[in-house]
Structures are given as C-alpha cells and as structure tokens.
C-alpha cells in the first residue's frame, strides 16, 4: 500500500511538473491539514505549487520526501510549525516565506544555521492588529461585549443593575513592543485622549512617548498594558505575576501578540480573584483551548486569534508573499526579511 | 388617608425647610421612581433639594402640588419625561436643568412659551459617546462581540467556521450630525484611516470634511453611517428605508443618538433579510424593549443605552448641573443652554 501511495504521489507530482510549459519555479506549501487560506490559486499563476495536503490521497511526509531535494522556497501558511527536523529534509531550501507577522512557530535559529532567509507578513497585518487591540481595549473598558450579552439575555428589560464602564480618555496606556503594530495602536489611542508610554528592547530615538526600560516599571505607570511584541525566548511570560501586580486592581491587559507572552495561569488567577481590572485577549497559550473559568467573567473580552484577519489584510499579505517569491526567483532584494536577534 | 399623606408631606417639606439655616435656594428633582443617579448628595450641599420620590410615603403628585408655587429650578434626572402638563403645575419655574445631552423627553416648546430656560449636559458626555460610537463601529466591523460569543460557546475548540471581519481603515464614514460628539467620532476614526463626510442642518465652514445636504446622498457615498444628531421632529426617522437602501448590503449603521432617529421596523427587516451589512445600536425606539429577532444576529452589536455612562462623565455632568444652578441663583450666565430651533 505504501508503494501504491508512493507511485500515486510520483504521478501526481509528475503531472504537475509536466503541465509546466514555462518551467515555472517550484514552491512548496507547508500547512496544517485543517488550516487553509485562499493563497494557492494566486501562487499557481506564477509557480508550480506543491501542497502535500492538496490531494486527499497524499500522505504528506512521503510526498515531502519525494520533492525534498529540489525545493528552494517554502511558504508556511499561518501557524503551521516548521521544525528543525522538517528543515533538514529540504537540503536545497533557501527561503521560508511566512504568511504571519510572528514567526515563533518557525525554527528561525535552524534557518539561520543553514543560511535560509525567513520573511514574514511584514506590515501587512499591522493596521488590522492595531485596530483589534483598540477594539479589545474599548471592549473591556466600555464593557461592549458585556453590554451586548446584557441586552441579548433580556436583563435590560428586567432593569437588572448595570455596572458603569470606564472612560477611555485620560488612561495611561503602556505599549509592550513599539513596532509598527504598537505605533499604530498609539496613534489611534492618542485620538481618544490617552497618554502613551512604551517598553521595547531599546529606546527609540524618533518616538515622542516616554520609554521604560522594563515592563514592570511600565506597568506601574500604566492603567492599561497593550502587549504586541514578538514572542521570543526573551519575551516568554514577559507579563509575569509581578507585572500584573504592578498593573494593579483597576489595570487592564490587552494581548494581541502571542499567548505565551503572558503567564496565562497567573492571569486567570488574577482575573478570577479580582486582582486585575480586566483583560482583552485575542491569543492564548494553548489555542484553541481557553480556560472555561474565563467564560463567566464580564470584564474579559475573548477572541479566537483573529486580530489579523480581514479580507483586506489577507489580500495585502498574499501580494507580499507573491512579491517575495518573485523577487527571490529573480535574484532581487526581498521584502519583510526577519532579522534574527 | 389622603389627608394623612398630605400632612406627612407637609411636615416632611417643613422639616426640610426648617433645617435650612442659610436660606438655601429650593431645587426640585424630577425623575422616574426607578431611575436615580448619585447627584442628590452633591446638590444638597448647596440647595434645599426636594425629591418627590425621596420618601417612600410621598405620593409624588400631591408633593409636587404642595411645592409647586415656589419652585424656580427643576433638575430632570435622565430620561424622565417633562410634559407641558407638569410644567403648567410650576408657575414660578424659570430653569429646567437636564442631566442628559438630548432633551427630546422635555417639552422644550412649552418651556420656550413660558420663558423657561433649558440647559443640558452640554459636552460632558461627548467624548464618552464618541468613544462608544467607535466601539460599536469596530465591534460590528471586526465582529468583536461575535468573536467573544464564538469563544465562550466553545465553537473555537470545535473549529467551526469563523467569518472574517472587515478592515476599519479606508472605510468611508458618514456622520449624521456633526456636533461635538460627531466631531469627536471623526477625530478618532481619522486615526484609524477612515475618510469622513457629514450631514447636518447647515454646512460648517470650519470643518474639513465633505458636506452632504441630505442623508440619502451621504448614505450613498458611505460604507458606515454614524448617527449622533439630536432627535427633533425634523430628524425623526431620518434613517429611513430609502437611506438604508442607499447605504447598501455591505453598509453598517451605528446609532448613539436616539432610537427614533432610525425607522427601527425597517432596520430590523433590512438586517434580517441581509439587505444591510450590520448595525451597532445603543438606543432603541421603545427602550428597554429590543426586538428579539435581533438577538440571533451576529452582525449586530446591542447595548442598553449606556454610551454616556462612565464615572468620569457622570462626575463631569454633575459639576455642570451644579454650576448651572449656582449661576442661575446668583444671576450669572448659564452654561449649556439648549438653543431652540
């Protein structure tokens, strides 16, 4: 049966290659079977696209082996983990194109060791993520999702007590990671009358907002923390128990980065014990698992890791992926290269 | 029994007056029994405050009669209707102080006929209402309340399909009523990269946004309408069936003004038939009744008329009410006078 599958695969691949009258370059898609984005048709106009999950008959690993020797460019769809083991199966690999902004699911160190360039979504998602961070912030402070539940559950008609929200203007917002997303968040919140401060690896000389060299001090001086930095070994659990304590009982935490930037277990305890004011979370440590105890809390807004997803930003990232692949195969400079620390 | 009540009232009022060693001015509170705000203690430091609903023994109407002759200033708490009939019971009335921004619940024409000045909440709530309008807008376009429901109901874990939202930036937002609230909405949405146009009674010379003389043309040229004008006979159902049709299938309607600005029956039909993209509604025609068919729609964000309510804006309006009453009793100029059309 393995032999049959293998020959199916070979004929599948052969057919693909034979249809290539223009000798288009080969691009391999790396994705989880359950995760697909409508990028493939666009790529197919310019490349021979090999997707191990495309045919339901294809056992992905055998297929990967069969194509492994010649693949120079790999596109990683969404959050699909790219491990050192997989990278080692692709001896000709020179380029990894991620469709996401964060690349914590990709073994970037292994890529560096092998001289493989990694590109990400660059700024394609920045505005959408920033919009969503602000949506979560106003959602928590002005109780938008709680208000909607209150109406839909019929409590308004019953005149059940409705707690006040909190004014956005005047809030001191600390941004953890002032890259393009953080800067867009700051721009929007300035228009609401918030004051902005930030933490990042280094002080940014061109930025007018106060800088805090560590997140603890930023939290101490903030009413709201917006976490939008990259997840690396240095930023893992950067929002620790101590930082939450510094943020305080009325403090609000917004996370649009990655779940593991926050010590989630501690956060849930802080929330359920009322030791933090509220949270707006688009990301979690073990997605799609969200601790059920959060489902009863009105001061929490929960979202299924969708801060990046609008048709407009998808189209924008698709064009960026295409541009990077085209540049690569014509030896032109790449855009949105991930610079490793 | 009526006699007994009446004498109770008289002694209650008498006690209040006798406790007034400084001959403080008299202020009457007009409110619904079920609606109270913590304004009374602040007023009591400066005035003799008569609240017909204060004592559970007081039949409000008799009490009102007993004080009617001498009352010069009336404070209307929240949405309590002030009819011509009630106004006629107060022959000395010179000032009506509303705690709300809109005064559609007050018979302003009757006040004008009798030379009674009406003041409102002025700009005390403007920023909070503008914040909330933006919250509703991002809530609908980015599906924030739907996202929260999706997570809480466990659908994420089941990998149930999740529709994309829509990017905020680039949206053409038409603001109906470019007063202080509308201007604050515009300021915020400019920071998100939206383009702004507006309709109001007259073109505003100092405003950079394109002006449309009628709402229909504004809707035709907008992706989103934000309704934040005052409710008057001229603006009743200003968002008509025709306007909704002009806004179109992808269009989104936000209402933070008054329910009756929108032809609600038509809106519900447009929504349930998918002839409009979505709606964010803080106000309804027959509050707290919200048509139940809306409760099943994911493209609608519902809120219990709470756009104005934060502790900060309440404090701000309390200070404004106090300042107006003090100015009135010292013959100084009033703030936030409602100028009648």
Chain segment A266-300, per-residue pLDDT in tens:
999 999 999 999 999 999 999 999 999 999 999 99
Q: Per the domain annotation, does A339 fall within a domain?
A: no
Residue A3 has pLDDT above 50, yes or no: no
Percentage of chain B modeled with pLDDT above 90: 82
Instruction: List B residues 98-117 in contact with A (Cβ-Cβ < 8 A).
Output: none
Residue A337 has pLDDT above 80, yes or no: yes
Do B294 and B234 share a structural domain?
yes
∠ CA A112-A114-A115, nearest 5°, is 65
∠ CA A260-A316-A183, nearest 5°, is 55
- Six-digit token string for B129: 């209402």
Tally helices (H) and strands (E) across chain B: 12, 11
Do B48 and B197 share a structural domain?
no
- B287 part of the active site: yes
Q: Count of domains in chain A?
A: 2
pLDDT tens digits for A116-162?
Answer: 999 999 999 999 999 999 999 999 999 999 999 999 999 999 989 88
User: Could you tell me the pLDDT band of residue B164, with boundaries at 50, 70 and 90?
Assistant: confident
User: Could you tell me the pLDDT band of residue B66, with boundaries at 50, 70 and 90?
Assistant: confident
Choice among B287, B293, B312, B315 that is catalytic: B287
Judged by CB atoms closer than 8 Å, whether chains meet at A156 and B188 is answered as: no
Residue A207 has pLDDT above 70, yes or no: yes
- Put simply, whether B157 touches A (Cβ < 8 Å) is yes
- Residues A38-62: what's their mean pLDDT? 80
Judged by CB atoms closer than 8 Å, whether chains meet at A132 and B143 is answered as: no
- Put simply, whether A42 touches B (Cβ < 8 Å) is no
* pLDDT for residue B4: 43
* pLDDT for residue A115: 96
Q: Per the domain annotation, does B136 fall within a domain?
A: yes
Distance from CA of A139 to the nearest CA of B (A): 7
Q: Which carries the bigger pLDDT value, residue A322 or residue B89? A: A322
* pLDDT for residue B3: 38
Q: Per the domain annotation, does A336 fall within a domain?
A: no
* pLDDT for residue B60: 61
Number of C-beta neighbours around residue A282 at 10 A = 27
Beta bridge partners of B255: B227, B281
Out of A148, A170, A192, whose CB is closest to B302? A148
* pLDDT for residue A316: 94
Q: Per the domain annotation, does B340 fall within a domain?
A: no
Which residues of chain A are within 8 Å of residue B144 when distances are taken between CB atoms?
135-136, 139, 144-145, 301, 303
**What phi and psi, each to the nearest 5 degrees, are found at residue A27?**
-130, 130
Q: Which of B138, B173, B287, B296 to mutate to test the interface with A (most CBs of A within 10 A)?
A: B138
Judged by CB atoms closer than 8 Å, whether chains meet at B166 and A312 is answered as: yes
* pLDDT for residue B68: 81
Distance from CA of A172 to the nearest CA of B (A): 15
- Residues A209-237: what's their mean pLDDT? 97
Do B90 and B34 share a structural domain?
yes
Which residues of chain A are within 8 Å of residue B295 when distances are taken between CB atoms?
151-152
Do A271 and A259 share a structural domain?
yes
Strand residue runs (E) in chain A: 26-30, 48-50, 73-76, 95-98, 117-119, 172-176, 195-199, 224-227, 252-255, 278-281, 300-302
Residue A53 has pLDDT above 90, yes or no: no
Of A31, A6, A26, A7, which Cα lies nearest the Cα of A16? A26
Residue A330 has pLDDT above 60, yes or no: yes
Distance from CA of A287 to the nearest CA of B (A): 8
Beta bridge partners of B54: none
Do B277 and B138 share a structural domain?
yes
Out of B145, B152, B157, whose CB is closest to A144? B145
Do B132 and B112 share a structural domain?
no
- Put simply, whether A142 touches B (Cβ < 8 Å) is yes
Q: Which of A35, A139, A315 to mutate to test the interface with B (most CBs of B within 10 A)?
A: A139
* pLDDT for residue A67: 75
Do A213 and A137 share a structural domain?
yes
Do A278 and A147 share a structural domain?
yes
- Put simply, whether A291 touches B (Cβ < 8 Å) is no
- Put simply, whether B23 touches A (Cβ < 8 Å) is no
Q: Per the domain annotation, does B336 fall within a domain?
A: no
Instruction: List B residues 115-134 in contact with A (Cβ-Cβ < 8 A).
Output: 127-128, 131-132, 134
* pLDDT for residue B35: 85
Residue B19 has pLDDT above 80, yes or no: no
* pLDDT for residue A36: 85
Q: Per the domain annotation, does B284 fall within a domain?
A: yes
Q: What is the mean pLDDT of chain A?
A: 91
Percentage of chain B modeled with pLDDT above 70: 90
- Residues A216-227: what's their mean pLDDT? 98
- Put simply, whether A314 touches B (Cβ < 8 Å) is yes
Using DSSP, state whether A322 is helix, strand or coil.
helix
- Put simply, whether A298 touches B (Cβ < 8 Å) is no
User: Could you tell me the pLDDT band of residue B112, with boundaries at 50, 70 and 90?
Assistant: very high
* pLDDT for residue B1: 36
Do B38 and B68 share a structural domain?
yes
Q: Per the domain annotation, does A335 fall within a domain?
A: no
Residue B2 has pLDDT above 50, yes or no: no
- Put simply, whether A165 touches B (Cβ < 8 Å) is yes
Task: Find out whether A165 and B309 touch, Cβ atoms under 8 Å.
Answer: yes
Q: Which carries the bigger pLDDT value, residue B62 or residue B265? A: B265
Gap between the Cα atoms of A170 and B315, Å rounded: 14
Do A48 and A96 share a structural domain?
yes
Q: Which of A151, A161, A259 to mutate to test the interface with B (most CBs of B within 10 A)?
A: A151
3-state helix, strand, coil in chain A (%, to 5): 40, 15, 45
- Put simply, whether B161 touches A (Cβ < 8 Å) is no
Task: Find out whether A82 and A30 touch, Cβ atoms under 8 Å.
Answer: yes
Choice among B30, B31, B143, B258 that is catalytic: B258
> Counting Cβ atoms within 10 Å, is residue A194 exposed (0-12), middle (13-18) or buried (19+)?
buried
Gap between the Cα atoms of B73 and B94, Å rounded: 6
């020797």: which residue's tokens?
A: A69
pLDDT tens digits for A169-197?
Answer: 999 999 999 999 999 999 999 999 999 99
- Six-digit token string for B297: 């729609």
Q: For residue A36, give its domain range.
A: 2-124+311-329
Judged by CB atoms closer than 8 Å, whether chains meet at A164 and B314 is answered as: yes
Judged by CB atoms closer than 8 Å, whether chains meet at A167 and B142 is answered as: no
Nearest chain B residue (CA) to A153 = B295
* pLDDT for residue A164: 87
- Put simply, whether B145 touches A (Cβ < 8 Å) is yes
Long-range contacts formed by B114-119: CB under 8 A, 24+ apart: B114/B87, B116/B87, B117/B334, B117/B337, B118/B337, B118/B338, B118/B340, B119/B95, B119/B324, B119/B334, B119/B335, B119/B336, B119/B337, B119/B338
Do A119 and A6 share a structural domain?
yes
Task: Find out whether B123 and B184 touch, Cβ atoms under 8 Å.
Answer: no
Beta bridge partners of B254: B226, B280
∠ CA B123-B128-B131, nearest 5°, is 125
Which residues of chain A are within 8 Å of residue B168 when distances are taken between CB atoms?
127-128, 131
Which residues of chain A are within 8 Å of residue B136 when distances are taken between CB atoms?
144
Distance from CA of A190 to the nearest CA of B (A): 8
Do A289 and A148 share a structural domain?
yes
Q: Per the domain annotation, does B99 fall within a domain?
A: yes
* CATH classification at residue B206: 3.40.50.720
């Amino acid at each position: 049966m393995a032999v049959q599958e293998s020959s199916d695969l070979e004929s599948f691949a052969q057919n693909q290659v034979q249809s290539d009258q223009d000798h288009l370059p080969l691009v391999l898609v790396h994705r989880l079977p359950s995760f697909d984005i409508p990028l493939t048709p666009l790529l197919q106009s310019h490349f021979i696209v090999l997707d191990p999950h495309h045919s339901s008959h294809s056992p992905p690993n055998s297929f990967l082996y069969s194509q492994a020797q010649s693949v120079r460019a790999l596109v990683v769809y969404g959050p699909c983990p790219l491990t050192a083991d997989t990278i080692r199966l692709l001896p000709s690999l020179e380029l990894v194109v991620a469709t996401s902004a964060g690349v914590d699911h990709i073994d970037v160190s292994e890529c560096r060791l092998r001289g493989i360039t990694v590109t990400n979504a660059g700024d394609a998602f920045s505005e959408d993520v920033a919009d969503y961070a602000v949506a979560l912030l106003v959602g928590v402070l002005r109780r938008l999702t709680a208000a909607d539940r209150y109406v839909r559950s019929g409590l308004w008609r019953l005149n059940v007590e409705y707690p006040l929200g909190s004014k956005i203007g005047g809030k001191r917002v600390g941004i953890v990671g002032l890259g393009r997303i953080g800067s867009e968040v700051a721009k929007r919140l300035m228009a609401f009358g918030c004051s902005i401060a930030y933490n990042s690896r280094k002080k940014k000389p061109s930025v007018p907002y106060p800088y805090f060299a560590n997140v603890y001090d930023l939290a101490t001086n903030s009413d709201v923390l917006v976490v939008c930095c990259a997840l690396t070994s240095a930023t893992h659990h950067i929002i620790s128990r101590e930082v939450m304590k510094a943020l305080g009982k009325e403090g609000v935490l917004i996370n649009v980065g990655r779940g593991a930037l926050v010590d989630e277990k501690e956060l849930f305890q802080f929330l359920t014990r009322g030791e933090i004011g509220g949270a707006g979370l688009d990301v979690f440590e073990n997605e799609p698992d969200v601790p059920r105890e959060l489902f009863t809390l009105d001061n929490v807004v929960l979202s299924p890791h969708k801060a990046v997803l609008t048709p407009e930003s998808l189209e924008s990232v698709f064009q960026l992926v295409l541009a990077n692949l085209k540049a690569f195969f014509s030896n032109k400079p790449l855009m949105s290269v991930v610079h490793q620390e």
